[in-house]
A and B are shown apart, each in its own frame.
Chain A
Amino acid sequence: MKRRSSFSRFKEKMIEKFFLLNGLLVVFILVGIFYLLLNESLPTFQEVSIVEFFSSTIWNPTGYHQQSYGIVSLVFSTIVVTVGSLIFSVPLGIACAAYLSEIAPPKAREVLKPTIEILAGIPSVVIGFLGIVLIGPMIARLFNLPNGLNVINGSVLLGIMALPTIISISEDAINAVPDDYKKASLALGATEWQTLVKVTIPAALSGIIAAVMLGMGRAIGETMAVLMATGNAPAFPKSIFSAVRTLTATIGIELGEVAYNTTHYYSLFAVGLVLFVMTFLINIVSDWVLNKYEEAE
């Protein structure tokens, strides 16, 4: 009897350890991704100087006379397209979240909630396809261009893809504002609109900021839509009508064609590492903002 109970206690311990190990697996994977990216990137810098990598604006690894590995224009393109997407998705997303949380009748919620879920579920390759067949021609006609594969197209697509994230997290944040705040404001004679703009949204601001950052993280890391719809010119964008190539699109296009274990191959892992670090930092900061906001509650 005694032996059995000590065996069963041992068994219980092992079961708990087994589940702990599964929990820790996520940490291993995250560290593993970082480690492998770093490990596969480093050989790049036997041939390419780190300074060139981070300061040259010319990305031309297949140049016949001279190869060039500078990611500045790729980083800049990524930022331009992302900022462009936020210009319309942030106001639209916050307004939609405010509508959902403050004034939508139940019927409208029942339509809008699944709409956002379905929008979030559309595969990025389909969004990219629409960039080619629908939004591109629209842009070309509107601005009288030969084709619509450019910065604006990418921004519109990324904005659509960031919308569900921005809406649902902002809505949670606005919902979490205590009713007392609103009641106090209304009791002082403010209208519902004034209460929303001057009390509720400022009170939810940190949550909304986190929502915007997560949306931005999605936009920076999105591959297929920008790969298909921004024209893929690895150069510094001159205007919003320029074709560009982002960090993600560069990896997407070139890695399929490159021979394994060449400098070009390794350099694409270095691009991936830059991308990983960028999105990691954005996630950490938005995490921190959200935590601060939960503590303040």
Chain B
Amino acid sequence: MFSRDVQQKIGFGFLRLSALFVLFILVVILYDIISKGIGVINWEFLTTAPTHGMTKGGIFPAIVGTFSVTVITALLAVPLGMFAAIYLNEYAKQGRVTRIIRMSIRNLAGVPSIVFGLFGLALFVQILGFGTSILSAGLTLGLMTLPVTITASEEALKTIPNSYRNGSLALGVTKWYAIRTNVLPYAIPGMLTGTILGLSRAAGETAPILFTGAAFFLPFLPDSPFSQFMALPYHLYVMSTQHHDIAKVRPLAYGTALVLIALVLSMNMIAILLRYWLRKKAKR
């Protein structure tokens, strides 16, 4: 066999290669989409509706739809996630209830996105009667995002030292007053970071909106939360599998993919930069 040193060289070489390969995968993905999508992107593509059976025109309604649905998602997932995190980090005592809540959060994070789609169809579309709409789809995505916003908010609360809480409690204020004035203001930027990451994932999801409100094609922009909507991820799905002339719309599909990736990754980037900035501030 090889000597020990050669063995180590080969072993470490393999690990390096693996890491390089992961980087290579990402580069290939981004290169393919950017190089083939960039040619389609121009002002008209971003600001007009699809025309000529979606073989021409742009993706404006899909951008508007994705934006509207993400707003509903945020309205549901951000406050509920914050409240649940405040309970877990500030009020909860070790015990069975807390353990069950934590287990549920982890399990909810593992529920397949298509199952959320089924749940949203049964609850929001059918039982609550919201129909296939921005509201139903946004609420479905909101529930899906909840584990992320809870975990992120809790992480942010954990970074606030106990002296902040004790300092104000010692002055005789109530617990809620201490949390509200001396914990939350410092935790909110950190909460935002994880929340943006969660929302970016929701904005790119397709399976949960398949049956809760996304539409194949709509000539008009949505005018109320109860309208159906076009969405970027669903539009990409339609353009690449459901369209009758797939070869003809391929460039437009690449353009849609690029816009979608740019949207999701720039939200990611904002979150990562925000986190970086916060860490630097914390060190000072």
Bits for B16-36, please: 1 = Cβ < 8 Å to A, else 0: 101101110110110011000
Q: Is B80 engaged at the interface, CB distance under 8 Å to the other chain?
A: yes
> Which of B4, B118, B150 is packed against the most chain A CB atoms within 10 Å?
B118
Q: Once the chains are docked, how many angstroms separate the CA of A159 from the CA of B111?
A: 18
Q: Which residue, A103, A118, A119, A167, has most C-beta atoms of chain B within 10 A?
A: A118
A282 at the interface (CB under 8 A from B): yes
Main SS class of interface, B: helix
Instruction: Decide: A26 near B112, CB < 8 A? Known: A115-B23, A125-B236, A133-B240.
Output: no
Q: Which residues of B, 147-192, contact A by the 8 Å Cβ criterion?
A: 147, 150, 174-176
Assess the A29–B113 pair: CB atoms within 8 A. no
Interface assignment of B12: CB less than 8 Å from any CB of chain A: yes
From the candidates B91, B101, B112, B254, name the one contacting A248 in the complex (CB within 8 A): B112
**Chain A residues touching B, majority SS:** helix
Q: List 18 A-B contacts (CB under 8 A).
A: A8-B174, A12-B174, A20-B92, A22-B83, A33-B111, A92-B18, A114-B272, A125-B237, A126-B204, A132-B241, A192-B8, A221-B114, A248-B114, A251-B117, A269-B118, A269-B122, A279-B110, A279-B115
In the complex the two chains form, is B22's CB within 8 Å of A116's CB? Answer: yes
Q: Interface readout for B189-206 with A: 1 if CB under 8 Å, 0 if not?
A: 000000001001100111
Q: How many whole Å from B89's CB to the nearest CB in chain A?
A: 10
User: At the interface, yes or no: A54 with Cβ under 8 Å from chain B?
Assistant: no
State which of B90, B112, B121 has its C-beta within 8 Å of the C-beta of A276: B112
Is B274 part of the contact surface with A, judged by Cβ < 8 Å? no
Instruction: Write out the residue numbers on chain B whose beta carbons fall within 8 Å of the beta carbon of A160.
Output: 25
Closest 3 CB pairs of A and B: A221-B112, A123-B204, A95-B18
Indicate if the CB atoms of B18 and A99 lie closer than 8 Å: yes
Contact of B29 among A117, A130, A255 (CB under 8 A): A130
Which residues of B in the span 233-284 have a Cβ within 8 Å of any Cβ on A? 233-234, 236-237, 240-241, 250, 253-254, 257, 260-261, 264-265, 268, 272
Chain B residue contacts of A95, Cβ below 8 A: 14-15, 18-19
CA distance A26 to B98 in the complex (A): 11
Q: Is B71 close to A, CB under 8 A?
A: no
Whether, in the assembled complex, A181 has its beta carbon less than 8 Å from a beta carbon of chain B, the answer is no
Asked if A146 is at the interface (CB within 8 A of a chain B CB), the reply is no
B80-114 toward A: CB 8 Å interface, digit per residue (1/0)?
10011011101110000110110111111011111
Partner pick for B207 among A193, A252, A260, CB 8 A cutoff: A252
Determine, out of A44-52, A79-87, A222-230, A234-242, the stretch whose residues face the partner at the interface. A222-230
Taking a contact as CB atoms closer than 8 A, the residue among B14, B147, B207, B257 that contacts A126 in the complex is: B257
Scoring A residues 120 to 162 as 1 if CB is less than 8 Å from chain B, else 0, what string do you get? 0111111111101110000000000000000000000000100
Chain A residues whose CB sits within 8 angstroms of the CB of B62 once the complex forms: none
**CB <8 Å contact, A117 and B272:** yes
Checking B8, B236, B268 against A117 with a beta-carbon cut-off of 8 angstroms, the contacting residue is B268
Q: Is the CB of A23 within 8 A of B84?
A: yes
Query: A194 on the interface (CB 8 Å rule)?
Result: yes
- Tell whether, in the assembled complex, residue B87 and residue A22 are in contact, meaning their CB atoms are under 8 Å apart: yes
Interface bracket on A = 35 or more
CA distance A118 to B206 in the complex (A): 18
B143 at the A interface (CB under 8 A): yes
> Judging by beta carbons under 8 Å apart, are B15 and A115 in contact?
no
Interface digits, A88-120 against B, CB 8 Å rule (1 contact, 0 not)?
000110011011101110001001101111110
Contact: A133 with B250, CB < 8 Å?
A: yes
Other-chain residue from A129, A223, A282 in contact with B236 (beta carbon distance below 8 A): A129
Instruction: Verify if A42 is at the interface (C-beta below 8 Å from B).
Output: no
Q: Which residues does chain A contribute within 8 Å of B25, judged by CB atoms? A: 119, 160, 163
Residues A191 and B8 in contact, CB atoms below 8 Å apart = yes
Residues of A with C-beta under 8 A to B108: 26, 29-30
Which of chain B's residues have a CB closer than 8 A to the CB of A1?
Answer: none
| In contact, B261 and A126 (Cβ under 8 angstroms) | yes
B111 near A22 (CB under 8 angstroms)? no
Asked whether B107 lies within 8 Å of A284 as measured between CB atoms, the reply is: yes
Query: Which listed residue, A91, A112, A220, A268, touches B118 by the CB 8 Å rule?
Result: A268
Contact B22 A223 (CB under 8 A): no
Using known A-B contacts A27-B100, A30-B104, A121-B268, determine if residue A112 contacts B211 with beta carbons closer than 8 Å.
Answer: no
* Interchain CB contact under 8 A, A287 and B106: yes
